[in-house]
Structure 1
Amino acid sequence: MRMVIVTGMSGAGKSTALKVLEDTGYFCVDNLPIPLFLKFVEMSAQPDANLDKVAIGIDIRGGRSFARLAEELDVLKEKEIPHEILYLDAGDDVLVKRYKETRRSHPLAKDGRLDKGIAAERKELEFLKMRATYIIDTSNLLTRELNQEIRKIFVEGKEYKNLYVTILSFGFKYGIPSDADLVFDVRFLPNPYYIEELKEKTGQDKVVQQYVMDNDKAPVFLEKVTELLEFLLPNYILEGKNQLVIAVGCTGGKHRSVTLANAIYEKMKEKEDYGFRIEHRDITKDSITKAK
Protein backbone atom coordinates (compact mmCIF):
# COMPACT_ATOMS: atom_id res chain seq x y z
CA MET A 1 0.00 0.00 0.00
CA ARG A 2 1.19 3.52 -0.77
CA MET A 3 0.28 6.02 1.92
CA VAL A 4 0.71 9.77 1.44
CA ILE A 5 0.26 12.37 4.16
CA VAL A 6 -0.66 15.67 2.53
CA THR A 7 0.14 18.67 4.69
CA GLY A 8 1.63 22.16 4.62
CA MET A 9 0.64 25.79 4.88
CA SER A 10 -3.02 26.79 4.72
CA GLY A 11 -3.66 28.26 1.27
CA ALA A 12 -0.70 26.49 -0.35
CA GLY A 13 -2.83 24.02 -2.34
CA LYS A 14 -3.54 21.00 -0.14
CA SER A 15 -7.15 20.72 -1.34
CA THR A 16 -5.97 20.74 -4.95
CA ALA A 17 -3.37 18.07 -4.19
CA LEU A 18 -5.93 15.81 -2.52
CA LYS A 19 -8.32 16.23 -5.44
CA VAL A 20 -5.61 15.21 -7.93
CA LEU A 21 -4.72 12.17 -5.83
CA GLU A 22 -8.38 11.20 -5.53
CA ASP A 23 -8.77 11.48 -9.31
CA THR A 24 -5.81 9.11 -9.75
CA GLY A 25 -7.27 6.39 -7.55
CA TYR A 26 -6.23 7.32 -4.01
CA PHE A 27 -8.67 6.85 -1.13
CA CYS A 28 -8.56 10.33 0.40
CA VAL A 29 -9.45 11.59 3.86
CA ASP A 30 -9.13 15.30 4.65
CA ASN A 31 -8.77 17.00 8.05
CA LEU A 32 -8.53 13.70 9.91
CA PRO A 33 -8.54 14.34 13.70
CA ILE A 34 -5.09 13.63 15.11
CA PRO A 35 -6.41 11.24 17.82
CA LEU A 36 -7.80 9.06 15.00
CA PHE A 37 -4.72 9.27 12.78
CA LEU A 38 -2.80 6.23 14.01
CA LYS A 39 -5.90 4.04 14.20
CA PHE A 40 -6.88 4.97 10.66
CA VAL A 41 -3.38 4.26 9.33
CA GLU A 42 -3.21 0.87 11.04
CA MET A 43 -6.65 -0.10 9.76
CA SER A 44 -5.79 1.02 6.23
CA ALA A 45 -2.60 -1.04 6.28
CA GLN A 46 -4.49 -4.27 7.02
CA PRO A 47 -4.66 -6.65 4.02
CA ASP A 48 -8.43 -7.00 4.34
CA ALA A 49 -8.86 -3.21 3.97
CA ASN A 50 -8.31 -3.62 0.21
CA LEU A 51 -6.70 -0.20 -0.04
CA ASP A 52 -3.78 0.14 -2.43
CA LYS A 53 -3.38 3.91 -2.25
CA VAL A 54 -4.34 6.20 0.62
CA ALA A 55 -3.92 9.97 1.04
CA ILE A 56 -4.52 11.69 4.38
CA GLY A 57 -4.94 15.45 4.62
CA ILE A 58 -3.50 16.79 7.88
CA ASP A 59 -3.17 20.46 8.77
CA ILE A 60 -3.26 22.99 11.57
CA ARG A 61 -7.01 22.60 11.92
CA GLY A 62 -6.19 19.62 14.15
CA GLY A 63 -6.10 22.13 17.01
CA ARG A 64 -4.38 21.40 20.32
CA SER A 65 -3.89 17.74 19.45
CA PHE A 66 -1.76 18.69 16.41
CA ALA A 67 1.41 18.53 18.52
CA ARG A 68 0.79 14.78 18.96
CA LEU A 69 1.39 14.17 15.29
CA ALA A 70 5.17 14.03 15.73
CA GLU A 71 4.74 11.16 18.20
CA GLU A 72 2.30 9.40 15.87
CA LEU A 73 4.78 9.61 12.99
CA ASP A 74 7.47 8.13 15.24
CA VAL A 75 5.16 5.19 15.92
CA LEU A 76 4.70 4.64 12.18
CA LYS A 77 8.46 4.53 11.79
CA GLU A 78 8.86 2.09 14.69
CA LYS A 79 6.16 -0.20 13.27
CA GLU A 80 7.75 0.08 9.81
CA ILE A 81 4.53 1.26 8.22
CA PRO A 82 5.67 2.89 4.94
CA HIS A 83 4.46 6.43 4.35
CA GLU A 84 5.41 9.57 2.45
CA ILE A 85 4.85 13.20 3.41
CA LEU A 86 3.91 15.75 0.74
CA TYR A 87 4.44 19.26 2.12
CA LEU A 88 2.94 22.20 0.22
CA ASP A 89 4.39 25.63 0.88
CA ALA A 90 4.19 29.18 -0.48
CA GLY A 91 5.67 32.58 0.36
CA ASP A 92 3.98 34.64 3.05
CA ASP A 93 3.03 37.41 0.61
CA VAL A 94 1.43 34.86 -1.73
CA LEU A 95 -0.56 33.28 1.11
CA VAL A 96 -1.81 36.69 2.26
CA LYS A 97 -2.90 37.51 -1.29
CA ARG A 98 -4.73 34.19 -1.66
CA TYR A 99 -6.57 34.63 1.64
CA LYS A 100 -7.65 38.14 0.70
CA GLU A 101 -8.89 36.99 -2.69
CA THR A 102 -10.97 34.16 -1.20
CA ARG A 103 -12.00 36.22 1.87
CA ARG A 104 -11.40 33.22 4.08
CA SER A 105 -10.12 33.55 7.65
CA HIS A 106 -6.87 31.90 8.67
CA PRO A 107 -7.32 29.21 11.38
CA LEU A 108 -4.67 30.84 13.59
CA ALA A 109 -5.47 34.50 12.88
CA LYS A 110 -7.59 34.99 15.99
CA ASP A 111 -7.22 38.76 16.03
CA GLY A 112 -7.75 39.02 12.29
CA ARG A 113 -4.05 39.60 11.50
CA LEU A 114 -3.17 37.27 8.62
CA ASP A 115 0.57 37.78 8.90
CA LYS A 116 0.59 36.70 12.55
CA GLY A 117 -1.53 33.64 11.79
CA ILE A 118 0.76 32.60 8.94
CA ALA A 119 3.87 33.07 11.08
CA ALA A 120 2.37 30.98 13.90
CA GLU A 121 1.34 28.23 11.49
CA ARG A 122 4.77 28.13 9.85
CA LYS A 123 6.38 27.66 13.25
CA GLU A 124 4.02 24.84 14.25
CA LEU A 125 4.50 23.02 10.94
CA GLU A 126 8.29 23.23 10.98
CA PHE A 127 8.71 19.67 12.26
CA LEU A 128 6.58 18.34 9.38
CA LYS A 129 8.57 20.21 6.76
CA MET A 130 11.75 18.73 8.21
CA ARG A 131 10.29 15.22 7.81
CA ALA A 132 8.80 15.83 4.35
CA THR A 133 9.52 13.40 1.52
CA TYR A 134 8.48 15.98 -1.07
CA ILE A 135 8.26 19.76 -0.76
CA ILE A 136 6.42 21.74 -3.44
CA ASP A 137 6.46 25.53 -3.30
CA THR A 138 3.31 26.69 -5.09
CA SER A 139 4.09 30.43 -5.00
CA ASN A 140 4.57 30.64 -8.76
CA LEU A 141 2.56 27.60 -9.85
CA LEU A 142 -0.70 27.62 -11.73
CA THR A 143 -3.21 24.96 -10.67
CA ARG A 144 -2.49 22.88 -13.78
CA GLU A 145 1.25 23.06 -13.07
CA LEU A 146 0.70 21.81 -9.52
CA ASN A 147 -1.43 19.00 -10.96
CA GLN A 148 1.42 18.06 -13.28
CA GLU A 149 3.95 17.97 -10.46
CA ILE A 150 1.76 15.76 -8.28
CA ARG A 151 1.06 13.38 -11.16
CA LYS A 152 4.78 13.27 -11.94
CA ILE A 153 5.50 12.05 -8.40
CA PHE A 154 2.53 9.84 -7.57
CA VAL A 155 1.34 8.58 -10.95
CA GLU A 156 4.31 8.55 -13.29
CA GLY A 157 6.70 7.56 -10.51
CA LYS A 158 9.42 9.97 -11.60
CA GLU A 159 12.17 10.84 -9.16
CA TYR A 160 11.45 14.18 -7.52
CA LYS A 161 14.20 16.36 -6.09
CA ASN A 162 12.15 19.14 -4.55
CA LEU A 163 13.27 21.96 -6.82
CA TYR A 164 10.97 23.95 -9.09
CA VAL A 165 12.66 26.43 -11.43
CA THR A 166 11.02 29.51 -12.94
CA ILE A 167 12.85 31.07 -15.88
CA LEU A 168 11.69 34.68 -16.05
CA SER A 169 12.40 37.32 -18.69
CA PHE A 170 12.17 40.98 -17.64
CA GLY A 171 13.10 44.53 -18.61
CA PHE A 172 15.65 46.42 -16.51
CA LYS A 173 13.74 49.67 -17.01
CA TYR A 174 10.84 48.10 -15.11
CA GLY A 175 13.03 46.89 -12.25
CA ILE A 176 14.79 43.66 -11.35
CA PRO A 177 12.32 40.99 -10.09
CA SER A 178 12.34 41.05 -6.29
CA ASP A 179 12.19 37.25 -6.03
CA ALA A 180 15.05 36.55 -8.46
CA ASP A 181 17.77 34.19 -7.21
CA LEU A 182 19.98 34.49 -10.28
CA VAL A 183 20.00 37.49 -12.66
CA PHE A 184 21.54 37.39 -16.13
CA ASP A 185 21.96 40.59 -18.15
CA VAL A 186 21.78 40.09 -21.94
CA ARG A 187 22.03 43.76 -22.89
CA PHE A 188 25.47 43.00 -24.37
CA LEU A 189 23.67 41.59 -27.42
CA PRO A 190 22.50 43.84 -30.32
CA ASN A 191 19.02 45.20 -29.67
CA PRO A 192 16.31 44.24 -32.23
CA TYR A 193 14.39 47.32 -31.09
CA TYR A 194 16.51 49.42 -33.44
CA ILE A 195 15.67 47.25 -36.46
CA GLU A 196 12.51 48.73 -37.95
CA GLU A 197 10.93 45.42 -39.04
CA LEU A 198 11.66 43.85 -35.62
CA LYS A 199 10.80 46.78 -33.35
CA GLU A 200 7.15 45.85 -32.76
CA LYS A 201 7.77 42.09 -32.61
CA THR A 202 8.89 40.10 -29.54
CA GLY A 203 11.21 37.28 -28.64
CA GLN A 204 8.30 34.93 -29.25
CA ASP A 205 8.61 35.62 -32.98
CA LYS A 206 11.02 33.42 -34.94
CA VAL A 207 12.46 36.35 -36.89
CA VAL A 208 13.52 38.03 -33.62
CA GLN A 209 14.87 34.76 -32.21
CA GLN A 210 16.93 34.25 -35.34
CA TYR A 211 18.31 37.80 -35.20
CA VAL A 212 19.35 37.44 -31.53
CA MET A 213 20.78 33.92 -31.80
CA ASP A 214 22.67 34.68 -35.04
CA ASN A 215 25.03 36.83 -33.01
CA ASP A 216 28.16 34.78 -32.21
CA LYS A 217 27.95 35.64 -28.49
CA ALA A 218 24.39 34.40 -27.94
CA PRO A 219 25.03 30.63 -28.38
CA VAL A 220 28.16 30.91 -26.21
CA PHE A 221 26.14 32.65 -23.49
CA LEU A 222 23.44 29.97 -23.71
CA GLU A 223 25.98 27.16 -23.42
CA LYS A 224 27.74 28.71 -20.43
CA VAL A 225 24.51 29.46 -18.57
CA THR A 226 23.29 25.90 -19.17
CA GLU A 227 26.54 24.47 -17.83
CA LEU A 228 26.33 26.76 -14.79
CA LEU A 229 22.75 25.66 -14.03
CA GLU A 230 23.63 21.98 -14.41
CA PHE A 231 26.25 22.54 -11.71
CA LEU A 232 24.15 24.75 -9.43
CA LEU A 233 20.78 22.96 -9.33
CA PRO A 234 21.85 19.77 -7.52
CA ASN A 235 23.88 21.87 -5.08
CA TYR A 236 20.88 24.10 -4.34
CA ILE A 237 18.91 20.95 -3.54
CA LEU A 238 21.60 19.83 -1.10
CA GLU A 239 21.21 23.18 0.66
CA GLY A 240 17.46 22.61 1.03
CA LYS A 241 16.26 25.04 -1.63
CA ASN A 242 12.94 24.05 -3.21
CA GLN A 243 12.28 27.00 -5.53
CA LEU A 244 14.56 28.95 -7.84
CA VAL A 245 13.84 31.99 -9.99
CA ILE A 246 16.28 32.61 -12.86
CA ALA A 247 15.77 36.11 -14.27
CA VAL A 248 17.05 37.06 -17.73
CA GLY A 249 16.93 40.78 -18.44
CA CYS A 250 17.33 43.21 -21.31
CA THR A 251 16.31 46.86 -21.60
CA GLY A 252 12.56 46.48 -22.16
CA GLY A 253 12.00 42.77 -21.54
CA LYS A 254 10.59 42.25 -25.00
CA HIS A 255 13.23 40.94 -27.43
CA ARG A 256 16.60 39.67 -26.19
CA SER A 257 15.59 38.52 -22.72
CA VAL A 258 12.51 36.70 -24.04
CA THR A 259 14.59 34.94 -26.70
CA LEU A 260 17.29 33.80 -24.28
CA ALA A 261 14.84 32.85 -21.52
CA ASN A 262 13.01 30.65 -24.03
CA ALA A 263 16.30 29.13 -25.20
CA ILE A 264 17.39 28.33 -21.62
CA TYR A 265 13.98 26.81 -20.90
CA GLU A 266 14.15 24.60 -24.02
CA LYS A 267 17.63 23.41 -22.99
CA MET A 268 16.68 22.63 -19.39
CA LYS A 269 13.04 21.49 -19.49
CA GLU A 270 13.83 17.89 -20.45
CA LYS A 271 15.79 17.32 -17.25
CA GLU A 272 13.47 15.07 -15.27
CA ASP A 273 15.05 15.82 -11.90
CA TYR A 274 13.50 19.29 -11.74
CA GLY A 275 10.31 21.12 -12.62
CA PHE A 276 10.55 24.07 -15.04
CA ARG A 277 8.23 26.87 -16.08
CA ILE A 278 8.71 29.92 -18.29
CA GLU A 279 7.31 33.40 -17.70
CA HIS A 280 7.73 36.71 -19.55
CA ARG A 281 7.01 39.50 -17.10
CA ASP A 282 7.39 42.60 -19.25
CA ILE A 283 6.86 41.35 -22.80
CA THR A 284 3.75 43.55 -23.39
CA LYS A 285 4.65 46.57 -21.26
CA ASP A 286 6.16 48.66 -24.05
CA SER A 287 2.99 48.48 -26.14
CA ILE A 288 0.82 49.22 -23.10
CA THR A 289 2.97 52.23 -22.20
CA LYS A 290 2.76 53.59 -25.75
CA ALA A 291 -0.99 53.13 -25.85
CA LYS A 292 -1.34 55.37 -22.83
Structure 2
Amino acid sequence: KSTVINALEDLSFYCMENLPFDLIESALDHLTREKNGPQRFAIGIDARDKRFVKEFKNLTEKLRKKFRLDVLFLSSSDEVLAERFSTTRRKHPLLDVGGELIAAIQHEINLMQPIELAADASFDTTLWSPHYLARKAEERYSGADLHRKLQVTVVSFGFKHGMLKPADTIFDVRFLRNPYFDPNLKHRTGLEPEVAAYVFEDPATDIFMEKIVDLHSFLLPAYYLEGKHYFRIGIGCTGGKHRSVALAERLVKDLAAKKIPNVELSVSHRDVMIGQGI
Protein backbone atom coordinates (compact mmCIF):
# COMPACT_ATOMS: atom_id res chain seq x y z
CA LYS A 1 0.00 0.00 0.00
CA SER A 2 2.76 2.44 0.93
CA THR A 3 4.57 1.67 -2.34
CA VAL A 4 1.53 2.77 -4.34
CA ILE A 5 0.99 5.83 -2.14
CA ASN A 6 4.61 6.88 -2.66
CA ALA A 7 4.31 6.39 -6.42
CA LEU A 8 1.17 8.53 -6.50
CA GLU A 9 2.86 11.25 -4.46
CA ASP A 10 5.48 11.38 -7.21
CA LEU A 11 2.61 12.01 -9.64
CA SER A 12 1.50 15.02 -7.54
CA PHE A 13 -1.39 13.26 -5.85
CA TYR A 14 -2.38 14.54 -2.42
CA CYS A 15 -2.03 11.31 -0.45
CA MET A 16 -3.51 10.20 2.86
CA GLU A 17 -3.17 6.86 4.63
CA ASN A 18 -5.60 5.26 7.09
CA LEU A 19 -7.86 8.30 7.24
CA PRO A 20 -10.71 7.61 9.71
CA PHE A 21 -13.89 6.59 7.93
CA ASP A 22 -15.90 9.57 9.22
CA LEU A 23 -13.36 12.02 7.81
CA ILE A 24 -12.97 10.72 4.26
CA GLU A 25 -15.86 12.55 2.59
CA SER A 26 -15.50 15.76 4.61
CA ALA A 27 -11.73 15.87 4.02
CA LEU A 28 -12.20 15.58 0.26
CA ASP A 29 -14.94 18.21 0.30
CA HIS A 30 -12.69 20.59 2.22
CA LEU A 31 -9.61 20.02 0.06
CA THR A 32 -11.46 20.42 -3.23
CA ARG A 33 -12.88 23.77 -2.11
CA GLU A 34 -9.41 25.23 -1.59
CA LYS A 35 -8.43 27.78 -4.20
CA ASN A 36 -5.52 26.43 -6.25
CA GLY A 37 -5.62 23.33 -4.05
CA PRO A 38 -4.83 19.76 -5.10
CA GLN A 39 -6.97 18.19 -7.79
CA ARG A 40 -5.98 14.54 -7.45
CA PHE A 41 -6.19 12.53 -4.25
CA ALA A 42 -5.21 9.07 -3.07
CA ILE A 43 -6.40 7.49 0.16
CA GLY A 44 -4.79 4.28 1.38
CA ILE A 45 -7.00 2.18 3.65
CA ASP A 46 -6.74 -1.33 5.07
CA ALA A 47 -9.00 -3.62 7.09
CA ARG A 48 -8.27 -2.05 10.48
CA ASP A 49 -11.19 0.37 10.04
CA LYS A 50 -14.15 -1.98 10.32
CA ARG A 51 -16.65 0.78 9.50
CA PHE A 52 -14.94 1.33 6.17
CA VAL A 53 -15.32 -2.34 5.29
CA LYS A 54 -19.00 -2.36 6.29
CA GLU A 55 -19.87 1.01 4.74
CA PHE A 56 -17.68 0.75 1.63
CA LYS A 57 -20.59 0.50 -0.82
CA ASN A 58 -22.47 3.48 0.64
CA LEU A 59 -19.32 5.60 0.84
CA THR A 60 -18.22 4.94 -2.74
CA GLU A 61 -21.72 5.60 -4.08
CA LYS A 62 -21.68 9.02 -2.40
CA LEU A 63 -18.16 9.82 -3.56
CA ARG A 64 -18.89 8.83 -7.17
CA LYS A 65 -21.64 11.46 -7.26
CA LYS A 66 -19.05 14.14 -6.47
CA PHE A 67 -15.75 12.90 -7.83
CA ARG A 68 -14.24 10.71 -10.53
CA LEU A 69 -13.44 7.77 -8.28
CA ASP A 70 -11.15 4.83 -8.99
CA VAL A 71 -10.83 2.03 -6.44
CA LEU A 72 -7.61 0.01 -6.70
CA PHE A 73 -7.42 -3.21 -4.67
CA LEU A 74 -4.03 -4.70 -3.78
CA SER A 75 -3.76 -8.41 -3.03
CA SER A 76 -1.12 -11.10 -2.59
CA SER A 77 -0.85 -14.72 -1.52
CA ASP A 78 -0.98 -15.56 2.19
CA GLU A 79 2.60 -16.80 2.17
CA VAL A 80 4.04 -13.72 0.47
CA LEU A 81 2.11 -11.38 2.77
CA ALA A 82 3.43 -13.24 5.80
CA GLU A 83 6.96 -13.01 4.45
CA ARG A 84 6.60 -9.27 3.84
CA PHE A 85 5.38 -8.61 7.36
CA SER A 86 8.23 -10.69 8.76
CA THR A 87 10.80 -8.88 6.63
CA THR A 88 9.59 -5.39 7.54
CA ARG A 89 8.84 -6.40 11.15
CA ARG A 90 5.58 -4.47 10.89
CA LYS A 91 2.60 -5.60 12.93
CA HIS A 92 -0.41 -6.75 10.93
CA PRO A 93 -3.38 -4.44 11.68
CA LEU A 94 -5.60 -7.43 12.62
CA LEU A 95 -3.02 -9.47 14.48
CA ASP A 96 -4.87 -9.09 17.79
CA VAL A 97 -7.94 -10.59 16.14
CA GLY A 98 -6.18 -13.52 14.54
CA GLY A 99 -3.55 -14.27 17.16
CA GLU A 100 -1.24 -15.85 14.57
CA LEU A 101 0.05 -13.80 11.63
CA ILE A 102 -1.26 -16.16 8.96
CA ALA A 103 -4.67 -16.27 10.68
CA ALA A 104 -4.78 -12.46 10.77
CA ILE A 105 -3.94 -12.34 7.05
CA GLN A 106 -6.67 -14.84 6.20
CA HIS A 107 -9.13 -12.89 8.34
CA GLU A 108 -8.25 -9.71 6.44
CA ILE A 109 -8.70 -11.43 3.08
CA ASN A 110 -12.19 -12.57 4.10
CA LEU A 111 -13.11 -9.10 5.34
CA MET A 112 -11.89 -7.38 2.19
CA GLN A 113 -13.40 -9.77 -0.36
CA PRO A 114 -16.51 -7.63 -1.06
CA ILE A 115 -14.26 -4.63 -1.67
CA GLU A 116 -12.08 -6.60 -4.08
CA LEU A 117 -15.16 -7.64 -6.06
CA ALA A 118 -16.39 -4.03 -6.27
CA ALA A 119 -13.01 -2.45 -7.09
CA ASP A 120 -12.37 -0.79 -10.45
CA ALA A 121 -9.03 -2.61 -10.69
CA SER A 122 -7.16 -5.24 -8.72
CA PHE A 123 -3.39 -5.80 -8.64
CA ASP A 124 -2.21 -9.24 -7.54
CA THR A 125 1.25 -8.32 -6.26
CA THR A 126 2.37 -11.84 -5.32
CA LEU A 127 5.16 -11.92 -7.90
CA TRP A 128 5.74 -8.16 -8.13
CA SER A 129 8.71 -6.28 -6.79
CA PRO A 130 8.06 -2.88 -5.15
CA HIS A 131 9.61 -1.23 -8.22
CA TYR A 132 7.28 -3.08 -10.59
CA LEU A 133 4.24 -2.28 -8.44
CA ALA A 134 5.18 1.41 -8.45
CA ARG A 135 5.55 1.32 -12.24
CA LYS A 136 2.12 -0.30 -12.69
CA ALA A 137 0.55 2.34 -10.44
CA GLU A 138 2.26 5.08 -12.44
CA GLU A 139 1.00 3.59 -15.70
CA ARG A 140 -2.58 3.55 -14.41
CA TYR A 141 -2.56 7.01 -12.88
CA SER A 142 -0.08 8.96 -14.97
CA GLY A 143 -0.85 12.51 -16.07
CA ALA A 144 -2.12 11.20 -19.40
CA ASP A 145 -5.18 9.99 -17.49
CA LEU A 146 -6.18 13.63 -17.00
CA HIS A 147 -6.96 13.70 -20.72
CA ARG A 148 -8.17 10.15 -21.05
CA LYS A 149 -10.90 9.11 -23.43
CA LEU A 150 -13.58 6.47 -23.17
CA GLN A 151 -12.72 4.13 -26.05
CA VAL A 152 -16.04 3.03 -27.54
CA THR A 153 -16.10 0.20 -30.08
CA VAL A 154 -19.24 -0.78 -31.95
CA VAL A 155 -19.00 -4.41 -33.08
CA SER A 156 -21.33 -6.19 -35.49
CA PHE A 157 -21.64 -9.95 -35.13
CA GLY A 158 -23.81 -12.94 -36.03
CA PHE A 159 -25.56 -14.90 -33.30
CA LYS A 160 -25.06 -18.11 -35.30
CA HIS A 161 -21.31 -17.69 -34.80
CA GLY A 162 -21.58 -17.19 -31.05
CA MET A 163 -22.36 -14.40 -28.62
CA LEU A 164 -20.07 -11.37 -28.61
CA LYS A 165 -17.89 -11.43 -25.48
CA PRO A 166 -17.10 -9.23 -23.71
CA ALA A 167 -19.68 -6.52 -24.34
CA ASP A 168 -21.23 -3.76 -22.25
CA THR A 169 -24.46 -3.49 -24.25
CA ILE A 170 -25.83 -5.90 -26.87
CA PHE A 171 -28.71 -5.36 -29.28
CA ASP A 172 -30.49 -8.05 -31.27
CA VAL A 173 -31.58 -6.62 -34.64
CA ARG A 174 -33.04 -9.81 -36.09
CA PHE A 175 -36.50 -8.18 -36.01
CA LEU A 176 -35.54 -5.91 -38.94
CA ARG A 177 -36.13 -6.74 -42.62
CA ASN A 178 -33.43 -9.05 -43.92
CA PRO A 179 -31.47 -8.44 -47.16
CA TYR A 180 -30.68 -12.16 -47.22
CA PHE A 181 -34.05 -12.76 -48.86
CA ASP A 182 -33.31 -10.40 -51.75
CA PRO A 183 -31.39 -12.41 -54.38
CA ASN A 184 -29.52 -9.27 -55.46
CA LEU A 185 -28.31 -8.56 -51.90
CA LYS A 186 -27.96 -12.02 -50.39
CA HIS A 187 -24.22 -12.34 -51.10
CA ARG A 188 -23.34 -8.71 -50.38
CA THR A 189 -22.71 -7.00 -47.01
CA GLY A 190 -24.04 -4.14 -44.94
CA LEU A 191 -20.94 -2.15 -45.86
CA GLU A 192 -22.44 -1.60 -49.31
CA PRO A 193 -24.85 1.34 -49.75
CA GLU A 194 -27.52 -0.74 -51.47
CA VAL A 195 -27.68 -3.21 -48.59
CA ALA A 196 -27.73 -0.45 -45.97
CA ALA A 197 -30.48 1.36 -47.88
CA TYR A 198 -32.56 -1.82 -47.92
CA VAL A 199 -32.19 -2.22 -44.15
CA PHE A 200 -33.10 1.40 -43.48
CA GLU A 201 -36.18 1.25 -45.69
CA ASP A 202 -37.73 -0.64 -42.78
CA PRO A 203 -39.50 2.10 -40.71
CA ALA A 204 -38.53 0.30 -37.52
CA THR A 205 -34.83 0.79 -38.25
CA ASP A 206 -34.76 4.56 -37.82
CA ILE A 207 -36.91 4.36 -34.69
CA PHE A 208 -34.61 1.73 -33.22
CA MET A 209 -31.49 3.72 -34.11
CA GLU A 210 -32.87 6.85 -32.49
CA LYS A 211 -33.52 4.95 -29.27
CA ILE A 212 -30.08 3.35 -28.99
CA VAL A 213 -28.35 6.62 -29.87
CA ASP A 214 -30.32 8.35 -27.10
CA LEU A 215 -29.49 5.52 -24.69
CA HIS A 216 -25.76 5.72 -25.33
CA SER A 217 -25.76 9.51 -25.30
CA PHE A 218 -26.81 9.07 -21.68
CA LEU A 219 -24.72 6.00 -20.82
CA LEU A 220 -21.32 6.94 -22.21
CA PRO A 221 -20.79 10.16 -20.19
CA ALA A 222 -21.98 8.32 -17.08
CA TYR A 223 -19.52 5.47 -17.59
CA TYR A 224 -16.74 7.95 -18.31
CA LEU A 225 -17.37 9.60 -14.95
CA GLU A 226 -17.26 6.15 -13.33
CA GLY A 227 -13.67 5.86 -14.56
CA LYS A 228 -14.34 3.31 -17.30
CA HIS A 229 -11.75 3.22 -20.08
CA TYR A 230 -13.38 0.92 -22.63
CA PHE A 231 -16.98 0.38 -23.72
CA ARG A 232 -18.08 -2.24 -26.25
CA ILE A 233 -21.44 -2.11 -28.02
CA GLY A 234 -22.59 -5.27 -29.78
CA ILE A 235 -25.06 -5.25 -32.68
CA GLY A 236 -26.12 -8.77 -33.61
CA CYS A 237 -28.13 -10.27 -36.44
CA THR A 238 -28.25 -13.89 -37.57
CA GLY A 239 -25.10 -14.17 -39.67
CA GLY A 240 -23.34 -10.89 -38.95
CA LYS A 241 -23.25 -9.90 -42.59
CA HIS A 242 -26.14 -7.56 -43.43
CA ARG A 243 -28.30 -5.87 -40.78
CA SER A 244 -25.84 -5.72 -37.90
CA VAL A 245 -23.10 -4.37 -40.16
CA ALA A 246 -25.29 -1.61 -41.59
CA LEU A 247 -26.52 -0.57 -38.14
CA ALA A 248 -23.06 -0.64 -36.58
CA GLU A 249 -21.74 1.68 -39.28
CA ARG A 250 -24.68 4.06 -38.83
CA LEU A 251 -24.49 3.98 -35.03
CA VAL A 252 -20.88 5.17 -35.04
CA LYS A 253 -21.78 8.04 -37.38
CA ASP A 254 -24.84 9.05 -35.34
CA LEU A 255 -22.94 8.95 -32.04
CA ALA A 256 -20.11 10.97 -33.58
CA ALA A 257 -22.65 13.59 -34.64
CA LYS A 258 -23.69 13.93 -31.00
CA LYS A 259 -20.14 15.11 -30.13
CA ILE A 260 -20.20 13.35 -26.76
CA PRO A 261 -17.27 14.72 -24.70
CA ASN A 262 -14.28 12.46 -23.92
CA VAL A 263 -15.43 9.67 -26.22
CA GLU A 264 -13.51 8.09 -29.10
CA LEU A 265 -15.48 5.88 -31.48
CA SER A 266 -14.50 2.99 -33.71
CA VAL A 267 -16.31 0.17 -35.49
CA SER A 268 -15.43 -3.41 -36.33
CA HIS A 269 -17.27 -6.31 -37.95
CA ARG A 270 -16.52 -9.67 -36.38
CA ASP A 271 -18.30 -11.96 -38.82
CA VAL A 272 -18.80 -9.95 -42.00
CA MET A 273 -16.53 -12.22 -44.03
CA ILE A 274 -18.10 -15.44 -42.82
CA GLY A 275 -21.72 -14.45 -42.13
CA GLN A 276 -24.00 -16.41 -44.41
CA GLY A 277 -27.02 -16.72 -42.14
CA ILE A 278 -30.57 -15.69 -42.64
Q: TM-score, normalised by structure 2?
A: 0.52
d(CA) in 1 for partners of 2:202 and 2:143?
A: 45
**Larger-gyration structure (1/2):** 2
CA deviation profile, 1:151-201 (whole Å, cap 9, x unmatched): xxxxxxxx9453010000000001111111110110000111111111001
- Gap runs ≥5 in structure 1: 1-64, 85-115, 136-158
> Compared with structure 1, are the counterparts of its residues 130 and 204 closer, same or farther at alpha carbon in structure 2 (3 Å cutoff)?
closer
| 8 Å Cα contact 1:161/1:237 also seen in 2 | no
What is the alpha-carbon distance in structure 1 between the residues aligned to residue 150 and residue 167 of structure 2? 15
2:205 aligned to 218, 234, 258, which one? 218
The equivalent residue for 2:264 is: 275
CA distance in 2, matches of 1:219, 1:198: 20
How far, CA to CA, are the matches of 1:120 and 1:183 in structure 2? 37
Q: Secondary structure at the match of 1:183?
A: strand
Matched-pair contact (CA < 8 Å) for 2:158–2:275 = no
State the Cα deviation string for residues 3-23 of structure 1 (Å, max 9, x = none).
xxxxxxxxxxxxxxxxxxxxx
* 1:127 shift after superposition: 4.1
Question: Is the alpha carbon distance of 1:69 and 1:185 closer, same or farther for their aligned partners in structure 2, counting shifts above 3 Å?
Answer: same
Aligned to 1:238: 225
CA distance in 1, matches of 2:175, 2:9: 57
Against the structure 1 CA distance between its residues 66 and 160, is the aligned structure 2 distance closer, same or farther, given a 3 Å change threshold?
A: closer
Query: C-alpha offsets along residues 102-142 of structure 1, whole Å, 9 cap, x if unaligned?
Result: xxxxxxxxxxxxxx88984896556436644444xxxxxxx
Matched ranges for 1:1-292 at <5 A: 68-74=6-12, 120=128, 124=134, 127-128=137-138, 131-135=141-145, 160=147, 162-270=149-257, 271=259, 272-286=261-275
CA distance 1:66–1:235, shift in 2 (3 Å): closer
Change (3 A) 1:279 1:134: same
What SS class does the counterpart of residue 187 from structure 1 fall into?
coil
Q: 2-side partners of 1:241 and 1:75: how far apart?
A: 20
The one-letter code of the counterpart of 1:277 is: S
How far apart, CA to CA, are the structure 2 residues paired with 1:128 and 1:214?
51
**Contact preservation (8 Å) 1:169, 1:258:** yes
TM-score of the aligned structures, taking structure 1 as reference length = 0.50
Cα deviations by residue, 1:42-98 (Å, 9 ceiling, x for unpaired): xxxxxxxxxxxxxxxxxxxxxxx9985334334999xx9x999xxxxxxxxxxxxxx
Question: Structure 2 regions of 5+ residues with no counterpart?
Answer: 16-35, 41-123
Residue aligned with 2:180, SS: helix
Mapped partners of 2:172, 2:127: distance in 1: 35
Matched with 1:142 is: none
Q: 1:117 to 1:285 in 2, by over 3 A?
A: farther
Per the alignment, do residues 188 and 69 of structure 1 end up closer, same or farther by CA in structure 2, a change over 3 Å counting?
Answer: same
When the two chains are superposed, the root-mean-square deviation of aligned CA atoms in Å is: 3.8
Cross-structure match for 2:82: none
State the match for 1:8 in structure 2.
Answer: none
